[in-house]
Amino acid sequence: MSMNGQNMGQYVVPFVCLLIVIMDLTAGILGIQAEVQNLRVWIFECRDPSYQAFKLGFAAAVLLAFAHAIANLFGGCHCVWSKPELDRATSNKQLAMASLVLSWITLVIGFGMLIAGVMANSSSRKSCGVSNHRYLSIGGIACIIHGMFAVSYYISATAVEKEEKKLNPPGPMMNPPGPVHQTVPTAPA
């Protein structure tokens, strides 16, 4: 469809990028805010888990997972299976591959840290002392970094799709798949 001579598809990429950035940024802010809530409850005293930190950390983990899923679902799968294939790949495909790997690494780190912080605030056990591992704030920072890699992956994966469509335009196929139907010549009668 077109709107005033413009293609509606041109708005999809900026919208998805904005959605990923907003989700990851919100997740990062929630993770850091959960840590601040956690620190308010206990600084140098026996620690009761903070339900507010639990809720904020859990919300951050859910947003991080959704942002990652959106980037990967809309970006598609552009994997490289060997070193020679990586060497022959276009720069967009190499960037997509690197961004994909880095987004998965930051997802694992961020999600793991957020879940560790959530679990520390989920039970009713008390812990005394000054030990604070800052799981929630590290997870929040990882969410923000994840946003950069996820958007980079989505944009480069979209560019790879456009490149592949240019190289392999849709149209009639010269050799269609399936059985070949040939007529058998008959002998003249």
Instruction: Enter the pTM of the model.
Output: 0.76
**Lowest model confidence (mean pLDDT) among 14-28, 141-155, 175-189:** 175-189
**Lowest model confidence (mean pLDDT) among 5-9, 47-51, 54-58, 114-118:** 5-9
Mean pLDDT for 20-41 is 85
Q: Report angle CA 113, 118, 122 to the nearest 5 degrees.
A: 150
Share of the chain above pLDDT 70, in %: 73
DSSP annotation string for 130-154: S----HHHHHHHHHHHHHHHHHHHH
Residue 179's pLDDT band (boundaries 50, 70, 90)?
A: low
